[in-house]
Amino acid sequence: MGPTPDWSPSRHGVEEIFEDDIFWDGGTNDGMPFHPWCLEVYQRAALQQKQPKTIDDMGDWWEHTEAMMECEKELQRGMGYEESNGQYWEHQKGQEFFIADPLKDFELVKLLQDAVIEPSEAFDPADSAFPDWPSHDPTASPSKSGVPTDPFLHLPAELLQQILSELPTPTVAALREVSRAFAHIPISFFHTLLRQDYPWIWEADSTTPVAHYSHWTQAVIDKAARKLANDTLQLAGHANSIVVSPEETTPSQARIAIIDATNAIDTDSTRPAATLKNDQAHVIPVFLPRIRTNWFKLYAALKKRGAEVPGLKNRERIWRDCEEIMRKIDEMRIRERDEGIRKLRRCIR
């Protein structure tokens, strides 16, 4: 591919970098191309591993892939990859989400923000996520001997919560239907369930050490967005030279939308500058306060609309790919360890 023409700033003494998906000579300025969105997702997925991974781990894995057998380096890729893995992009209907912003997609941000409770509103995460059951419920009928048949009624609340946390989601719903002991499931329980079923919603993890998105990520995305908008605008006609055909009384809505999008990008004063080094140069993810978020509402919204939100769908796709990479890193480390043990045994002999 050759050296990247606008490599900036220089890192680790490297003035120019050769990026490619195959390394031939093993030079010190070889670079692995990695989309900034994907790198942000990788960092957060890496922190949630039992053995957290680093960027160096990913680099080591990539550097050693050429020496691996095909079965060792083959990745189980996410949805839609096989149809889009050609040299040139060929769009497939239904895969529009591939280009949706997984960090701050408008619909995703709104879905998250809607779950945050305003300070002026009364809210307690210990309250039940569900309405109270009627006082006379047929499922609570005692046995003929007068002794309740529901064994869960005798268990303390802490143990009931532990039981729920060990069950898959469908079983939780079924258990609530058959036992009054689970009539009160606190809203806070769905934070645990959300972290389990939707680990890519890192906004729910208030303790993450990666609290901000890199300002370089935003700078690269903004640059790409401006180029895309400008290229598209050239195809649609410049804003000042829109020609309205005799059959039209107004410009086409599609062309107006393109022009509006371009102007919005060029005049966006909230866009962080790549040269800034303070917190203003970061895009801060939506903050979901632990005690002021309706976790049940958010969990239900993700279940109902998750597949419809392009940015969320793309985030899940990237997350699962990153998990697969980290699984391969673990396999590589195990092979290295086993090889080291074999070498040690040979030396002892």
Residue 209: pLDDT over 80? no
At residue 301 the predicted structure's pLDDT band, cuts being 50, 70 and 90, is: very high
Is-contact 79 317, C-beta < 8 A? yes
- Comparing 56-65, 103-112, 236-245, 340-349, the range with the smallest average pLDDT is 236-245
How do residues 227-242 score in pLDDT, each as one tens digit? 777 777 777 665 455 4
pLDDT at 68: 59
Parallel, antiparallel, or unpaired for β 30-31 and 18-19? parallel
Residue, of 134 and 176, whose pLDDT is higher: 176
pTM greater than 0.75 (yes/no): no
Q: What is the mean pLDDT of residues 107-127?
A: 90
Measured distance CA(21)–CA(31) in Å, rounded: 8
How do residues 126-153 score in pLDDT, each as one tens digit? 888 887 766 555 444 455 555 557 888 8
How do residues 240-266 score in pLDDT, each as one tens digit? 554 444 454 444 554 444 444 444 444
How far are the Cα atoms of 113, 129, 290 from residue 293, in angstroms, in the given order?
Answer: 9, 12, 6
Q: What is the mean pLDDT of residues 333-348?
A: 84
Most confident of 21-25, 207-211, 293-297, 302-306: 293-297
At residue 297 the predicted structure's pLDDT band, cuts being 50, 70 and 90, is: very high
pLDDT at 212: 79
Q: Residue 61: is it exposed, middle or buried by C-beta count within 10 angstroms (0-12/13-18/19+)?
A: buried
pLDDT at 194: 94
pLDDT at 163: 87
Taken in order 175, 179, 180, 181, the sign of the CA dihedral is: negative
At residue 284 the predicted structure's pLDDT band, cuts being 50, 70 and 90, is: confident
pLDDT at 107: 92
The residues, ordered by sequence, that sit 6+ positions from 181 with a Cβ below 8 Å of its Cβ are 150, 152, 153, 155, 160
Residue 315: pLDDT over 90? yes
pLDDT at 285: 80
Residue, of 206 and 275, whose pLDDT is higher: 206
Mean pLDDT of the chain: 75
Residue, of 82 and 117, whose pLDDT is higher: 117
Tell me the domain boundaries of the chain.
Answer: 36-82+92-101+312-348, 106-129+186-235+282-308
Residue, of 95 and 238, whose pLDDT is higher: 95
